[in-house]
Structure 1
Amino acid sequence: MKKFIPSQIFVEKEALNYSLTYEILKKAENLNIPIIEDSFNKKTKNLSEQEFFAYSKRTIILGISKNKKLDSCKPSADFQFSLVSGCPGTCEYCYLQTKHAASPHIKIFVNINEILDNIQGYIDESKPNITTFELASTSDPISVEHLTGSVARTVEFFSKQEFGKLRLVTKFSNIDSLLNVNHNKKTKIRFSINTDYIIKTYEHNTDNLQERLDAAAKIFKADYDTGFIIAPIFIYDGWKKDYEDMLINLYNKLDGFSNSNLTFELIQYRFTLKSKDIILKRFPKTKLDLNEETRLKKWGPYGYYKYVYPKEISSEIKQYFYDKIKQYFPNSTIEYFT
């Protein structure tokens, strides 16, 4: 897939104090990307919901992160932080439809040194314990890494940390800049994968499965700790065959590395009433099953109910993936199923 090129870039006033802003603007100039001097909110205030969403997904805003207090990120890591907010992908089911309902644009935080200084404080405070950080909980920073270089700088930062480790996940294959970074085994890169049907039907403007698997093979050969998130897991006609084909594809792509200690994270499809409302406004022709009557209602960690598959279906999904992953990747670790 071609690298994401935004249709326009907005620059917040505070971002003008940071060198990364000018590095990105130089690349934008070379790519003939318009720099909009008006405010984003003013530019988009008269757009319909679908027009606003489409415009936002083609927009980058350069700004700064003021967030000093990091949120927990269980079960993935101890804490989460962001170099980017949002993502150019338009996955219909994405939980960021809710979290970023009013701000689906891509915001790049240019004060990377301040962000990393804050991370250092968390690491130092927890010594001698190892503190783990998730980088891609509210974004996919790999999708804009060719413009920012921020992930590579962050990997280098963690390579020097005795008591800190980094984790990130992506649906993009834009990882070549990370292959020659001295990561010192302190960064784990996971790839979000799904069946061809799910990717083509719901994961718009992301890389296809083959591109993700090719990137994963490169990352693995560069000696990064490597993992895979199978998410969200959908039940549909032929789902078992499709998911097994996906695992066989992965097995063949890694060619000789399949017996290594890869990790898998398994997440079943879920939605909330708030996300359902937003999804139906933005994707009125969606094929997503959003019928809460056929779901199990569970209280979520963020203060609202989520709807997941009933227990008998959930148990079937879990057992199926545990059996198949152990069949093809016997030395792998399944970190969790949720």
Structure 2
Amino acid sequence: MPSPPDLGRRKLWLPKRVIVTRSAMEWDHGRAIAERAGRLGLDVEELPSDRLPLAMPEDERKAYAAAKNMLAVVVAPPSKRRLQPIAPSADWRIDLAEGCPAHCSYCYLAGSLKGPPITRTYANLPEIMAEMPAHLGKGMVTSRSRARAQEGTTFEASCYTDPLALEHLTGSLSALIEHFGRWDEALQLRFTSKFAAVDPLLPIDHAGQTRMRASINPASYARHEGGTDPVAARLHALARMAAAGYPVGLTIAPIIAAAGWEQAYAELIAQAGAALAHMPHLDLTIELITHRYTPGSRAVLQSWYPGSSLDMTMAGRVEKRTKFGSLKYVYDADTMRSLRSFFEHEITRHLPTARILYWT
């Protein structure tokens, strides 16, 4: 499937600094990541210990820039390898990395990760994959869902990172897809991405056991998604994955009820329908996630992106407590009803064969 000429080159993140811990270099996968980075012309610094040099400039903006331009190759400790439930997306979360090179002014990782926003990728991939077999059939989302039972036990690989954004540096996503393709069980690997460099994934024998979703928002909201590929490129990449036999999906997130949202999202859904039209045997799901934030994430994001036009006031918002007692701000009930009705109508109109997995 040739690329339309207007999509331009895909963005490949090339960090200014790549550091590899001593323990990471003891793993074949860690050494392979270091070699990949070297072949891309990046200077790779091998550390004498496992302690990351986290000293950052005192200026907050410079510290943010330095951290976002760093890739650390580390060993995931047992606490990071332990699988956690990740409703409503999947049964379990599996982390290949932590952090993301994109600059999204609504990033939910801002309130989830501690310290400078350095991207850490894990060298001990065999240990990470070894955690999964014990969790088969034991999840609370698809393992026990009549509506999604055909997915089997599901594992989400993009909770704390965008694995496709790092794939040219790590090869971790390809290795995981190959692993799932060889696994004769009722299961599915899932990942979502705002990037489009899917070429390494197309020839993999995936056995239909990996679902890629493109995370999309209207082109008019591109100012909120710095450093990512254009929406048209993401949709074209998704169509290429579908043509290669992958089940696919759209993650429309975060849905932002800004002025003119009806027209913006109507055009987006029509664009997605056109990109995926006439795909044979299309297996398409949709996840709808409205914009929300916590007090902590709002403070971090406003420090990272002080000039952002993203509305994080309390206008049209209400407080909501999670099951763990933490506080977040979501759209009020009237706004949520209007949004949901609109999206269900437009999806039925432009993507009639798609399955909406959840609304949140």
TM-score, normalised by the number of residues in structure 2: 0.88
Partner of 1:53: 64
Aligned to 1:70: 83
Structure 1 distance, partners of 2:324, 2:180, is 29
Residues 144-223 of structure 1 aligned to structure 2 (within 5 Å): 144-161=166-183, 162-198=185-221, 200-223=222-245
Q: 1:120 aligns with which of 113, 120, 133?
A: 133
Deviation at 1:197, TM superposition (A): 1.3
Deviations 1:268-288 (A, max 9, x none): 111111111111111111111
The 10-residue stretch of structure 1 (253-262 or 200-209) with the greater mean CA deviation from structure 2: 253-262
Can you give the 5+ residue segments of structure 2 that lack an aligned partner in the other structure?
A: 1-9, 144-151
Identity of aligned residues (%): 30
Residue number among 30, 33, 36 corresponding to 1:27 in the alignment: 36
Per-residue deviation at 1:266?
A: 0.4
| Corresponding residue of 2:331 | 309
The 5 A counterparts of 1:286-301 are 286-292=308-314, 294-301=316-323
Q: Does structure 2 retain, via aligned residues, the 8 Å contact 1:97–1:275?
A: yes
Is the Cα contact below 8 Å between 1:251 and 1:258 reproduced in 2?
Answer: no
CA contact (8 A) 1:80 1:133 kept: yes
Contact 1:259-1:331 within 8 A present in 2 as well: no
Q: Distance in 2 between matches of 1:99 and 1:42?
A: 21
Which of the residues 85, 107, 110 maps onto 2:120? 107
Output one character per residue of 1:98-118: Cα deviation in whole Å (capped at 9) or x when no partner: 112414111110111111111
Contact 2:164 2:197 in 1 (8 A): yes
Which residue of the partner structure matches residue 165 of structure 2?
143
Change (3 A) 1:225 1:246: same
* Whole-Å separation in 2 of the counterparts to 1:230 and 1:125: 28
Amino acid paired to 1:181: I
> Which residue of 1 is the match for residue 24 of structure 2?
15
Structure with higher helix content: 1
Identify the match of residue 95 of structure 1 among 101, 105, 108.
Answer: 108
- The gaps in structure 1 that reach 5 residues or longer are none
How far apart, CA to CA, are the structure 2 residues paired with 1:311 and 1:170? 29
In the superposition, the TM-score normalised over structure 1's length comes to 0.93
Matched residue of 1:168: which SS?
strand
Code of the aligned partner of 1:169 = T
Q: Give me the whole-angstrom Cα distance separating, in 2, the residues matched to 1:16 and 1:184.
A: 32
* Bigger Cα displacement from structure 2, 298-307 vs 113-122: 298-307
Q: Does structure 1 residue 6 correspond to structure 2 residue 15?
A: yes
Looking at structure 1, the residues matched to 55 and 119 of structure 2 have their Cα atoms a distance apart, in angstroms, of 14
Does residue 318 of the first structure (1) align with residue 340 of the second (2)? Answer: yes
Q: Which moved more, 1:315-324 or 1:263-272?
A: 263-272
